[in-house]
Amino acid sequence: MLEFYLALLDNDSDKGRLSYIYEKYYKLMLSVANEYSQNKSDAEDIVHESLMKIIDNLDKIDIGNEVSTKCYICTITKNLAKDNTKHNRF
């Protein structure tokens, strides 16, 4: 699945940054999404949406600052999960 996201990027630097984020935080993102979703499929969709948003904002992420990066990624995932939960209620 990582290959799909990497294909969306043009330069090797961004690809390296995204690979690092994916490898380090994917399980955490899935865990956060699972807290709000009804099933595994919904959680995976939330993580996909989160990764797409991360790609759009990759220049704002300082992977050298692990605390900031982790908070940023968890916030994106949690907010998308909450939005997904609200939409699925109605």
Indicate whether 88 pLDDT > 80. Answer: no
Percentage of residues in the chain with pLDDT exceeding 90? 87
Indicate whether 90 pLDDT > 50. Answer: no
Residue 60 class from Cβ within 10 Å (0-12 exposed, 13-18 middle, 19+ buried)? Answer: exposed
User: Residue 85 — very low, low, confident or very high, per pLDDT cuts 50/70/90?
Assistant: confident
What is d(CA 20, CA 2) in angstroms, rounded to the nearest whole number?
11
**pLDDT given at position 38:** 80
